[in-house]
Amino acid sequence: MDAESRSGSLVSTLRGWRLALRLGPALRSHPPDILQTYPDLVRHPDVERVDGGWSYKGGFYPDYLHMGGASHQIASVALKHCVGRGADIGAGLWPLPGAMPVDIWRGPGAQRSLDDFKTGELDYVFSSHCLEHIDDWRGALKSWTELVRPGGTVFLYLPHPECAIWEPGSAFVGDAHVWAPSPPVIKEVLEELGFAIDACDDGPDHYMSFYVCAKKG
């Protein structure tokens, strides 16, 4: 590894430690998913373990990308737009502060479903790294947008299509990701659903993700 790569690896590792400190309670109750997949990854012919992360398909992917809690990367931005009464769909162990978590698998939102909300009752819907897991993602997104009042907000944070480890079928996610969202597609569908794009970052950001924020009506 050359000097530039070592420097990048160090920066990535430091970011990972900062994220770990923020995620502390969740990590203690549920270890990062990477710990469960580590044995398979180190044996995979296309994956190489390097300082601070992994080498895969010619790219370097730092450890913090595998710790969960993607919402923490975008929370400071999202909270500028997600104001009032709202839901975090697919919140897992790391719900957006102030949002009502909803999740079909784990975390504080596991006991709540979309059926608990009435059409048009929410000021916002936030979702981080969830839509890529859903086969009928268009139908799911439509149902989310229907929960938002006129003038309300939908804020989506999603894995960037340039991130090879999050591609459907990759050594890291297998069949857990069923499609690869992209900024143009997400914007187009939100506009078809009657939303106007309010803010966005096409990315990829340092978490290899992008966001789209849109207002209804």
Contact 110, 151 (CB under 8 A): no
What HEC string does 149-181 produce? Answer: EEEEEEEEEEECCCCHHHCCCCCCCCCCCCCCC
pLDDT mean over 53-57: 94
For the chain, the straight-line distance linking the first and the last C-alpha, in angstroms and rounded, comes to 51
Q: How confident is the model at residue 37 (pLDDT cuts 50, 70, 90)?
A: confident
Residues of the chain with CATH 3.40.50.150: 71-216
pLDDT the model gives residue 9 = 45
**pLDDT, tens digit, 9 for 90 and up, residues 8-24:** 444 444 454 454 445 45
Q: Is the pLDDT of residue 6 over 50?
A: no
Instruction: Tell me which residue of 116, 137, 141 sits closest to 126, measured CA to CA.
Output: 141
Which residue is associated with the tokens 């009928």? Answer: 136
By percentage, how much of the chain surpasses pLDDT 90?
71
pLDDT mean over 102-131: 94
Query: Topology of 71-216 in CATH?
Result: Rossmann fold (3.40.50)
Query: CB-based contacts of 70: which residues, under 8 Å, 6+ apart?
Result: 94, 128, 129, 157, 207, 209
**pLDDT, tens digit, 9 for 90 and up, residues 64-113:** 898 788 999 999 999 999 999 999 999 998 999 999 999 998 888 998 99
